[in-house]
Amino acid sequence: MPREIPCSEITIETRRTRSSRRGEETTITKENLQAQSVIVKQYRTGYKDLAIVSIIDNGYQGIYHIEEPQLSDDSRKLLETLKEYILMNPRVSELREENIRMLLLEAGEVLGVTDRVERNLAVLEYYIVRDVLGYGKIDVLIRDGLVEEISVTGPGQPIRIAHREVTDYRWLDTNIVFETETELRNYVILLAQRSGTSISPAFPLREFTLPEGHRVKATLGFEVSRRGSGFTIRKFPRPPTILDLVSWGTLSPLMAAYLWLMVENQQFITIVGPQAAGKTTLMQALLQLVPYDSKIVTIEETPELNLYHPGWQPYVTREPLLLSTIAERTRIDIEDLLRVGLRDRGEYFVIAEARGREILYAFQAAAVGSGSLLTFHAGSFDEFFNRLKILGIDRELLALLSCVVLIKRVKLNNGWRRRITSIYEVYMDASGRIRHTEVFKWDRKEDSFKPDEPRLTKRLKQVAEQLGWSEEEILQELKERAKIIERLVMQQRTTLEDLQREFHISKTAL
């Protein structure tokens, strides 16, 4: 994880960047940076914390500046020689970070450069790990746990990142650039190979997942992009818990307790929001609340979910690798997996990024008693509901939908933040008409959530009947869970184990 360091004077290499406000190129140097900019955050990260990241606000854009260990010309030549020696090792694919130092000393002895290797051992180890085992020039971005997304739009363009804590700007320019199309093209191919897939002029657009679980969307050459090759990496570090989301202000303790009860009792929940709103993150946090002895079936086109649950059965679609009628028969799409999943006796049925007909299967899963969770791309509740009608979901199936969670990325005084702006309950009234009620709402002016006291809703009443509880008991349960969540967040104890332990203690104390 990144380690904070005192904000001291840093070395800034001269680079050129384009002002989004003035439309002109500006040279960023150490002198004018200190005159017109502010370092808003500085910390160590990268392999063994040997890289220094300085995040700079120069008034019209944010800059994510990386300072890596310096190499002299002589050390750079030595590094290339050592790299060739290591890559010639027949067991290079089995190398681990902890073996590199010993291998470097061995290489120094074989090549007769032991003294030079020992003098520069820490720096040489850093670059061998970075370039051979890591991700090369973007390795620091991959290792930095505060970087959420990495975007490369073409050669000659600064790599841009989205930062978890510095959110005054949606994107920060870095001082890393892929200089040529050839360099960038080769890197995209390397990313695909590392993920066990391929990308080519015949299939120039690919989505895949890196071994660390990060999601990649890559383009190759000029077939589908006028700027040439490029990629976007959405990073998925340790899955945040519902306690983390509360601590970040995404939802209130009471809302978290409400969703906890809904998940635990196999209600049908749909998470709706625009792109990069945090839908998958919220879904993952909710799935961690599924009872330990349940079975979860998840279906995705590109693997994103990462659950630590013994009953998790993950399914992933498959695209044909060749362009032919015969190859098309090898396709396994969401509908194929949904049919298998319905026969897999899962108590929870999960579809990430539902778009079309596959939604019908989630409703069918709810109809046979499974809990269903969906993420759906839409900007509002009305837009989501209208699209369900267009897809032919009739009112009997719509009545199975328990609640709709609307999440968005919003601009506040302290930067961009994610907020659950509304939670709606959906139900069928006595006359057979589908109704919806907003049970929680975010107040933008106060940056708070209403209501702040438990209230009985139609779906909570249904859960109470399912459990054989009175209305007073379900409200008391909601209140107790909200108190546990609030207390743990105040104590900065946000792991799932903390939540399970406190919940067990509260139950045994009764």
Tokens of 315: 């399914």
The pTM of this model reads 0.69
d(CA 353, CA 19): 35
Give the bridge partners for 441, in sequence order: 422, 450
Per-residue pLDDT for 236 more than 60? yes
Mean pLDDT estimate for the chain: 87
Per-residue pLDDT for 432 more than 90? no
**Mapping DSSP to helix (H, G, I), strand (E, B) and coil, where does residue 123 land?**
helix
Tell me the per-residue pLDDT of 22-32, one tens digit each, with 9 for 90 and over: 344 444 444 44
Residue from 40, 69, 63, 275 nearest 165 by CA = 40
Per-residue pLDDT for 491 more than 70? yes
Per-residue pLDDT for 410 more than 80? yes
How many of the other CB atoms lie within 10 Å of CB of 59?
9
Residue from 250, 173, 217 nearest 18 by CA = 173
Least confident of 30-34, 125-129, 212-216, 248-252: 30-34
d(CA 267, CA 372): 7
Tokens of 310: 């013994």
Tokens 């001082």 correspond to what residue? 175
Stretch 47-58: mean pLDDT: 94
Tell me the per-residue pLDDT of 352-389, one tens digit each, with 9 for 90 and over: 887 777 788 788 778 877 888 999 999 899 999 898 88
Tokens 């992933």 correspond to what residue? 316
How many of the other CB atoms lie within 10 Å of CB of 139?
21
The more confident residue out of 387 and 343 is 387
The more confident residue out of 338 and 118 is 118
d(CA 60, CA 38): 11
324: pLDDT confidence band, cut at 50, 70 and 90? Answer: low
Sequence-separated (6 or more) residues with CB below 8 Å from residue 282:
245, 250, 271, 405, 407, 420
Tokens of 174: 């870095």
The more confident residue out of 86 and 361 is 86
Sequence-separated (6 or more) residues with CB below 8 Å from residue 254:
440, 449, 451, 452, 453, 454, 478, 482
339: pLDDT confidence band, cut at 50, 70 and 90? Answer: confident
Strands (E), 183-295: 205-209, 215-219, 230-234, 269-273
Contact criterion met (CB below 8 Å) for 361 and 335: yes
d(CA 414, CA 417): 8
Tokens of 502: 């406190």
Stretch 395-413: mean pLDDT: 92
d(CA 35, CA 30): 9
Contact criterion met (CB below 8 Å) for 414 and 397: no
168: pLDDT confidence band, cut at 50, 70 and 90? Answer: confident
Residue 392's pLDDT is 85
Stretch 167-175: mean pLDDT: 91
Residue 24's pLDDT is 44
Least confident of 3-12, 130-139, 390-399: 3-12
The more confident residue out of 459 and 3 is 459
Tokens of 7: 């904000």
Stretch 116-138: mean pLDDT: 94
Contact criterion met (CB below 8 Å) for 119 and 69: no
For residue 114, give the H/E element and its range.
helix 114-119
Residue 36's pLDDT is 65
Per-residue pLDDT for 401 more than 60? yes
Tokens 């090898």 correspond to what residue? 330
Tokens 């909601």 correspond to what residue? 478
- Amino acid identity of 96? R
Residue 17's pLDDT is 43
Residue 27's pLDDT is 44
Least confident of 283-287, 347-351, 453-457: 347-351
Helix and strand numbers, DSSP H then E, in the chain: 18, 21
Least confident of 30-34, 168-172, 281-285, 333-337: 30-34
CATH superfamily to which 252-453 belongs: P-loop containing nucleotide triphosphate hydrolases (3.40.50.300)
Instruction: Provide the CB-side half-sphere exposure for 76 (13 A, CA).
Output: 5
237: pLDDT confidence band, cut at 50, 70 and 90? Answer: low
The more confident residue out of 213 and 100 is 100
What secondary structure letter does DSSP report for 157? S
Residue from 291, 300, 229 nearest 266 by CA = 291
Tokens 């929940």 correspond to what residue? 269
> Any idea where the domains of the chain sit in the sequence?
252-453
Residue from 144, 137, 151 nearest 41 by CA = 144
The more confident residue out of 3 and 365 is 365
Residue 268's pLDDT is 94
**DSSP assignment of 282-293, as one string?**
HHHHHHTTS-TT
Stretch 277-305: mean pLDDT: 90
Residue 60's pLDDT is 84
Contact criterion met (CB below 8 Å) for 269 and 405: yes
Report the DSSP pairing between strands 269-273 and 403-412. parallel
**Mapping DSSP to helix (H, G, I), strand (E, B) and coil, where does residue 35 land?**
helix
Stretch 346-352: mean pLDDT: 87
**Burial grade of 122 (CB within 10 A; 0-12, 13-18, 19 or more):** exposed
Residue 323's pLDDT is 65
Per-residue pLDDT for 276 more than 90? no
**Percent helix / strand / coil, the chain, rounded to 5:** 35, 25, 35
Contact criterion met (CB below 8 Å) for 176 and 425: no
What secondary structure letter does DSSP report for 155? T
